[in-house]
A and B are shown apart, each in its own frame.
Chain A
Amino acid sequence: MYAQLVETGVKRLKSLDEMEPQERAFQERIDAEIKIEAKNWMPDAYRQTLIRQISQHAHSEIVGMLPEGNWVTRAPSLKRKLQLMAKIQDEAGHGLYLYSAMETLGADRDEEIAKMHNGKAKYSSIFNYPTLSWADMGAVGWLVDGAAIVNQVVLQRTSYGPYSRAMVRICKEESFHQRQGYQMLLTMMQEGTQAQKDMVQDSINRLWWPSLMMFGPSDEHSPNSAQSMAWKIKRQSNDELRQRFVDQTVPQLELLGCTAPDPDLKWNEERGHYDFGEIQWDEFYEVLKGNGPCNQERVSKRRNAIESGAWVREAAVAYARKQQLKRDVA
C-alpha cells in the first residue's frame, strides 16, 4: 500500500548555491545518504511533503482492510480465514507504525485522518475497486501487495529515518502476504474446479490495470517527482517502478496459467523488458478525484467507524482521568 501523486508545493528545484546555509547543510546531508531524523532542521516543504506521503500511505493501510473485511467472514477454510485475519491485523499494525512515523514530524493523527474523511487527503486508488469473489483475496495479495512492495523496497532507502525504518519492517510482512496471495491463486488454478479457475482469471482481469495505476501518473505527468527525488523521499520514478513490477509479475502470471487483459503485453528483446499497453489515465484521475466504484463506501465506512466510536474513546479518556485523580489523591 502506498502513496500516489504527492504534492511537494515546490515549483522549481533550487541549486545548492541558491540555498541558505541551513538548507544547504540539509541537502548535503541528503546527498551524502545520511538519514534525516525528527530533531534535525528540515525545510517546511520537505516536512509537509513527508506528512502528506506518510499519511497517505497510512490511510491506504487502513482503507485497504475494508476490501478484506468484505471477505473475512466468508473465507472458505479455517486456514484461509486465519491467514486473512493475520493479514488484516498486520495492516492495522502498519497503519499504526506509519502514523507514528508521521507524528514525529509534528502532525496529528486524528487531524490527518479527518482530512481523509473529508476528501482532502488520499489513499491508494486501488482500494476504490470492489472485491467481488474470493479469488480477489488472492489477487489483492499477489498484485496489490506486490505492487506496494516494489515501491516500498525502494522506500526503505528514503531520506527520512523514521519512515525508512518503518518500511523495513513493513516490507518483510508484505512479502509474506504477497507469497500467501499467490499461493491461494496457485492452489485454485492447479487443484481447483473450472469455476474456481474462471474466478481467478476474472479477478486478474479486473485488478490488473488498477494495480498498474498504483505507481501513479507517468513520469511526464508527474510534476512533483523532481523535488521528491532531489530530497530522496522518492528514489525511483513511477514508470521505472511500474516497469519493474510488470517484468517480475508476467512470469508469475504465466506460471498460474492466466493471462493479462492487455493485448499489447509482450516481451521486447531489444529493451530487455515487457512492453505493455497504455493505462486508461482518465479512469485513474477520476478514481483519484473520488469518482471510483467504491470511493464513497470506503470513506463513509471509515468516517462512520470513527464517529460512532466517539463515545467509546471519550469513555476511555474519562476513565483514565478518574484513575489518575485517584492516584493523585492516594
Chain B
Amino acid sequence: MNDDLIQYLLRLGDTALIQGQRLCEWCGNAPALEEELALMNVGLDLVGQARNWLEYAAELLNDGRTADDLAFGRDERSFRNLLLVEQPNGDYAVTMTKQFLYDAWHFDVLQQLCNSSDERIAGIAAKALKEVTYHLRRSGEWIQRLGDGTEESHARMLAAIEQVWRFTVELGAADETEQRLAAAGIAADHDKAANAWLAEVTQIFTLATLPVPSPANYFYLSGRKGLHTEHLGFILAEMQYLPRTYPNATW
C-alpha cells in the first residue's frame, strides 16, 4: 500500500508542478497586466501544492531524498504527471483550455481527497481545494470569454480543444494502483471524478458556445506510468538545470 501511495502522491505533485512550471513560462508575455498577476498567482498555488505532495512522498520513500531531490533529480521516465499539463502553452486559448480541463478534474479530485482516510492527504487537499476553487472559476470564465467572444477567439478555442482534447483520456482512466487506494478510502474514486469533470466541462463549453467532443481515445502513452510526450524532457532540462549542473550546491 505504501508503494501505491507514493505513486499517487507523485502523480498529484508532479502534475501540479509541471502545470506551475508551464505557467512560469508566461512571465512577461501575458495579454494584460491583470493576467500576469493571475497566471503567476495560480502557478504559485500549484507549485506550493506540489511541494506539499512531494514532501509527503519523500517522507514515505524514506531513502534520504527530499522534495527538492524528487522535483529536480528525477528524469522523464520517473515523472508521473498527466500528459495534458506538459503540452506546450501555445496561445492563450490553448493555455486556458489546458488549465480549465485540468482545474475541472483537479477540483473534484481534491473535493474527494478532503475526506481521505489518510489525514495528511485530507489536510493538504483541504488547503489546495480553496485555491483550486478559484482556479476553476477563473479558467471557466476565460473559456466562456474566448468561446463566446469574437469570431477569432471562437476559432482559436476550437483549434485549442482539437489540439489538447486527446490528452483528457487520462482524466477518465484509473489504473490498479489508484483503484486499490480508492477502495481503501485513501485516493479519489476515478469514475466519480471523471463524471464530475465531464459535467463541468459540458456546462462551461455549452455556455461558451463550444461543442463538447466525443470521449478521447486511448493512444498508448500514460503520464501516470512515466510514458510521456516528447515535451517533458525539455521542461525538465530547463527546470532542473541548476541542481544538475551544481550537484553539491546549497541554494
Contacts and interface: CB of A to CB of B under 8 A. Distances in A.
B18 to A, nearest CB: 11
Contact of B27 (A88, A184, A188, A195): A88
A236 B21 CA distance: 42
Interface string A294-330: 0000000110111011111111101110100000000
Chain A, interface SS category: helix
B51 A315 contact: no
B37 A78 contact: no
Interface stretch (B128-136, B143-151, B185-193): B143-151
A73 B31 contact: no
Nearest to B71: A78
Given A69-B28, A88-B40, A92-B37, A312 B146 contact: yes
Contacts of B145: 315-316, 319-320
Contact of B246 (A195, A301, A315): A195
B47 A78 contact: yes
A187 interface: yes
Given A85-B44, A305-B29, A72 B24 contact: yes
Contacts of B246: 76, 193, 195-196
B178 to A, nearest CB: 25
Given A82-B48, A82-B51, A74 B29 contact: no
Interface residues of B, number: 49
A320 B34 CA distance: 16
B185 to A, nearest CB: 29
Interface in A69-98: 69, 72-82, 85-86, 88-89, 92-93, 95-96
B129 to A, nearest CB: 19
B241 A315 contact: no
Nearest to A96: B33
B163 to A, nearest CB: 17
A312 B92 contact: yes
Given A82-B47, A188-B250, A74 B239 contact: yes
A322 B154 CA distance: 14
A318 B152 CA distance: 11
B7 interface: no
Interface string B100-120: 000000000000000000000
Most buried by A among B28, B34, B146, B149: B28
Given A74-B238, A92-B33, A195 B249 contact: yes
Contact of A188 (B31, B156, B251): B251
Contacts of B47: 78, 81-82, 85
A254 to B, nearest CB: 21
Interface string B220-248: 00000000000000000011011100101
Contacts of A322: 148
A77 B238 contact: no
A196 B68 CA distance: 18
B181 interface: no
A89 B50 contact: no
A80 B47 CA distance: 11
Contact of B37 (A93, A301, A313): A93
A330 to B, nearest CB: 15
Contact of B40 (A66, A85, A134): A85
B25 A315 contact: no
A319 B96 CA distance: 16
Contacts of B25: 73
Contacts of B37: 89, 92-93, 96
Nearest to B153: A315
6 contacts: A73-B21, A76-B243, A85-B40, A191-B250, A309-B35, A311-B153
Interface of A: 62, 65-66, 68-69, 72-82, 85-86, 88-89, 92-93, 95-96, 99, 134, 184, 187-188, 191-193, 195-196, 301-302, 304-306, 308-316, 318-320, 322
Interface of B: 20-21, 24-25, 27-37, 40-41, 43-44, 47-48, 50-51, 54, 67-68, 71-72, 91-92, 144-146, 148-150, 152-153, 156, 238-239, 241-243, 246, 248-251
Of all A-B residue pairs in the complex, the 10 with the closest CB atoms, nearest first, are A309-B31, A315-B149, A69-B27, A315-B153, A76-B242, A312-B31, A92-B37, A191-B250, A76-B251, A89-B40
